[in-house]
Amino acid sequence: MPTVAERIGRGRFVSFELWPPRTPESARSLEEALDRLTPLGAAFVAITYGAGGSTRERTHDLVVRLVDSPLLPLAHLTCAAHPRSELVELMERYRQAGVDNLLALHGDPPLSATEELPEGDLRYAVELVALARELGFPSVGVAVHPEGHPAATSREADLAHQAAKLREADFALTQFLHRAEDYFALVDELHRRGATAPVIPGVMPITNVRQLGRMTAMSGTTIPLALAERLQAVAHDPEEVRRVGIEHATRLCRRLLDGGAPGLHFYTMNKAAATLEVCANLGWQTAERW
- 159 neighbors 193 (Cβ within 8 angstroms): yes
Please give the pLDDT value at position 113. 47
Q: Is 17 a known active-site residue?
A: yes
Residue 288, domain member (yes or no)? no
Q: Which residues of 139-173 are buried (b: 16+ CB within 10 A; e: fewer)?
A: bbbbbbbbbbbeebeeeeebbebbbbbbbbbbbbb
- The distance of Cα 188 from the centroid of its chain, to the nearest Å, equals 20
- As a whole number, mean pLDDT of residues 45-55 equals 88
Which pLDDT score is estimated for 139? 98
Q: What residues are paired with 265 via a beta bridge?
A: 15, 202
Q: Tell which wins on pLDDT, 55 or 174.
A: 174
CB contact burial 8-19 (16+ within 10 A = b; e otherwise):
beeeebbbbbbb
Paired with 75 in beta bridges are 47, 102
Catalytic residue among 17, 127, 147, 189: 17
| pLDDT score recorded for residue 75 | 98
How confident is the model at residue 114, as a pLDDT? 47
Q: Is the pTM above the cut of 0.85?
A: yes
Residue of 45, 157, 100 whose CA lies nearest to 165: 157
Phi, psi of 69 (to 5 degrees): -105, 175
Identify whether the C-beta of residue 38 lies closer than 8 Å to the C-beta of residue 71.
Answer: yes
In a domain, 153, yes or no: yes
- Per-residue pLDDT, averaged over 35-64, amounts to 92
In a domain, 209, yes or no: yes
Lowest mean pLDDT among 1-15, 47-61, 153-167: 47-61
Arithmetic mean of pLDDT, 143-156: 89
* Over residues 242-261, mean pLDDT: 98
What's the average model confidence in pLDDT over 232-251? 96
pLDDT, one tens digit per residue, over 84-143 is: 999 999 999 999 999 999 999 998 655 454 466 677 899 899 999 999 999 999 999 999
Least confident of 34-43, 149-158, 254-263: 149-158
CATH of the domain at 173: 3.20.20.220
Residue 89 lies in a domain: yes
In a domain, 289, yes or no: no
* CA–CA distance, 41 with 15 (Å, rounded to integer): 8
- Mean pLDDT across 137-154: 91
Lowest mean pLDDT among 22-36, 100-114, 238-252, 256-270: 100-114
Residue 247: per-residue pLDDT: 98
Q: Are 3 and 249 in contact (CB under 8 A)?
A: no
Please tell me the distance from the alpha carbon of residue 215 to that of residue 211, in angstroms, as a whole number.
6
Instruction: List the domain range (segments joined by +) for residue 179.
Output: 4-281
pLDDT on residue 17: 97
Per-residue confidence (pLDDT) for residue 150, from 0 to 100: 76
State the pLDDT confidence band at 237, using cuts at 50, 70 and 90: very high
| Total structural domains within the chain | 1
Nearest residue to 223 (alpha-carbon basis) of 233, 210, 213: 213
Residue 231: inside a domain, yes or no? yes
Domain-located, residue 286: no
pLDDT in tens, 258-281: 999 999 999 999 999 999 999 999
